[in-house]
Structures are given as structure tokens and as C-alpha cells.
Structure 1
Amino acid sequence: MANIIMFVILAVVILGSAIASVLTKRIMRSATYLLFVLFGVAGIYFLLDYTFLGAAQIAVYAGGITMMYIFAINLVSKRTLQGLVEHIKGSRICMGLLLCLVGLATTLVVFLKNHFIDASAKMADQELPVQKIGEALVGSEKYQYVLPFEFISVFLLACIIGGIMIARKEDKK
């Protein structure tokens, strides 16, 4: 019963922080709410007794949010950080809502067509050891993720270098 209560608390924190992260107009608040989301996900890992994944979640993503703070301070104008930006037009809100509904409909069609809900209900009683998760993440066989992980790390490194180049760009007069 305590696990269910903790899960509900973490789910409320994750969902509330995710919604607040998207809806806030200030970039620093948005990054802080994103940090709460990532800590909530780490809490779910700890709740499932995946202590390594929980610790990795905190270590990796807390560092990532710190980098986001640094880039937000360096790359965003002072007016934006102070919240003195113009208001969003109603047409942009309508377009955003339309895109959200299209994404939700697509996700629901994929879930219902591929019977993910039925399969997850059957697998809910099975316990997956951390060793299998680790092998799937760093293995190079079929359905293992070391190659996509390396591509993502190179891509993120290129993004960081690009952000540094933009931040350090000198005015040529």
C-alpha cells in the first residue's frame, strides 16, 4: 500500500512539473520544473528497487540541467530572462493545441493497433532484473542500444560545441 501511495505522489509531482515546465514563460523556471520531473522519474526507479538507474538518472540529468542553466543564462537575452517577452498570439496557442491532439491521436492509434496495453498487462507480473536492462543498454546485438547511445552522445557533443560557438561569437565591425 505504501508503494502505491508513493507512486501516486511521484506521478502527481512528475505530471504537475511537466505541465508547469511547458506552460511557464520563464526559461529558468521551466528548467527547474524539468529538474523536478527528472527527480520524480529517479524516485520511481528507486521505488522499483532499481537503485543504479535511479542514481544514474540523478547524476546524468542533474548535470544536464545544470548545463541547461548555464546555456540559458549565456544564450538568452536579459529581457527574456526577466520575463519581459511579448505575449503569445491566440493562433499559436490553437496551432499548439492542434499539434498536441494530433500527437495524442497518433500515440493512441499506435497503442491500440499494436496491442501494447494488453502486452503490458501480461508483463506486469514479471520482474525484469537490472542485469537484463544493462545488457540491453550497452549490448551490440539486435534490440540493444549501444550504437544509438553513441550517436546521441556525439550529437549532444556537437550541440554543446555549437552552443559554445554561438555564445562566444564576436562582433565583426
Structure 2
Amino acid sequence: MSGSTIIFYMLAALTLVSGVFAVGTRQIFRAAIFLLFSLIGVAGLYFWMQYEFIAAVQIVVYVGGITVLIIFSIFLTQQAGDKMPKQKIGRQIFSALAAFFGFALIMLQLFQHTFTGTINQPMEPGVTNIGTQMLGVNNGGYALPFEVVSMLLLAALIGCIVIAMKTTGGISNKE
């Protein structure tokens, strides 16, 4: 086994184990920290594949943006050490089924796609070419994914505001 393979397995294990812990823990601050490590593992995989620009975007957008917003909203509510309520078995079953069907849909799409790309025409890795490709609206452009990421950041900001909102009327979230 080569050193490159060992690095891949270490990064994949970091990503998967942190993701499982983020979903499995009942303490919201620990879940946010595990999410942080999982996203760092994904960025490490991008660096390992020598996609430095995508790794930098992963770190800036997800690690630096979404995770920091989540952690700030947790600290604003002063509930960093509180445990989240235990979910009902119906919600757990629904979540497991949703995850399974999402995984099945992804696998179906992967097996049906032919993956023909522009391997014969490598792109010069410059800022001008990356910007033209990223903001292009033609066949090879990425304007739609760029807009989807901006909507994701907006949704994360709204979610953090909802987490940070104070409860009114003497109702408490603690059990």
C-alpha cells in the first residue's frame, strides 16, 4: 500500500467518522465541531486530488462560513452544553429512510451517467479561466451551481438566526 493510498484512507475515515458523530451526538456544540472536522476532511480530499481551488472554496464557504455561523448562533443562545431532545422513533425511521433513498438516488444517477468530459482538453489553471468557467452560462459553465451555493449560504444564515432567536412567553427549550 502506497503513502498516497494511506492518506486517502485517513482523510476518508476522518470525513466519515466525523459525519457519523455529527449526526449521532445529542450535544449541539459537539455536533457542530464534528461537522467542522467532516468538512475539513472533504477539503483534505480535494487537496489530495490536487484540486486546490475547490479545496479553498470548501474551506472558505463551508468551514469558514456555515460552520462558524452555526457555532456563533449556538453561543448566542447560550445553549452550548445543552443536550438536544431525544427524537421519537417515527422521526428516526423517517430520517433513516430518507437517507437510504437519497443514497439510492445518488447511486442510480452515478451508474446511469456516462461521465464523458473534457479530459482531452485540459484547462490552464488561471484565475481568468476559472472565473470564465465558473460564471459561464453556456454548456460548460457553472453559473447555476454558483447561485445554488449562494442560496445555501442564505439558508444557513436564516437557520442560524432561527437557532439564535430567544424564546418568548416563558417557554423553554430545555428538558
Aligned to 1:149: 146
Superposition map of 1:41-60 within 5 A:
41-60=42-61
Q: Kindly provide the amino acid, as one letter, of the partner of residue 93 in structure 1.
A: Q
* Structure-2 change in CA distance of 1:161 and 1:106 (3 Å): closer
Tell me, what secondary structure is at the counterpart of 1:82?
coil
Point out where structure 2 has 5 or more consecutive residues left out of the alignment: 170-175
TM-score by length of 2: 0.70
Per-residue CA shift, 1:5-51, capped at 9, x if unaligned? 11111011111111111111122111111111111122112212223
Partner Cα separation in structure 2 for residue 30 and residue 20 of structure 1? 7
Structure 1 pair 53–103 and aligned structure 2 pair: CA distance change class (3 A): closer
Matched ranges for 1:22-37 at <5 A = 22-37=23-38
Matches within 5 A, 1:113-128: 114-116=112-114, 119=115
Q: CA RMSD in A?
A: 3.4
The answer (yes or no) to whether the contact 2:29–2:81 under 8 Å persists in 1 is no
Aligned to 2:63: 62
Structure 1: stretches of 5+ with no match in the other structure:
none
Change (3 A) 1:170 1:84: closer
Q: What is the alpha-carbon distance in structure 2 between the residues aligned to residue 140 and residue 54 of structure 1?
A: 23
The aligned amino acid for 2:3 is A
For residues 131 and 11 of structure 2, the distance between their equivalents in structure 1, rounded to whole angstroms, comes to: 24
For 1:82 and 1:15, the matched residues in 2 are separated by: 24
What is the CA–CA distance in structure 2 between the aligned matches of 1:21 and 1:166, rounded to whole Å? 17
TM-score (norm 1): 0.71
Q: CA deviation at 1:111?
A: 2.9
Q: Distance in 2 between matches of 1:19 and 1:138?
A: 34
Judge conservation of contact 2:19–2:35 (CA < 8 Å) in 1. yes
The one-letter amino acid paired with 1:9 is: M
What are the equivalent positions in structure 2 for 1:1-173 lying under 5 Å apart?
A: 1-64=2-65, 65-75=67-77, 78=79, 81-112=80-111, 114-116=112-114, 119=115, 129=123, 130=125, 135-150=132-147, 152-153=149-150, 156-157=153-154, 160=157, 164=161, 167=164
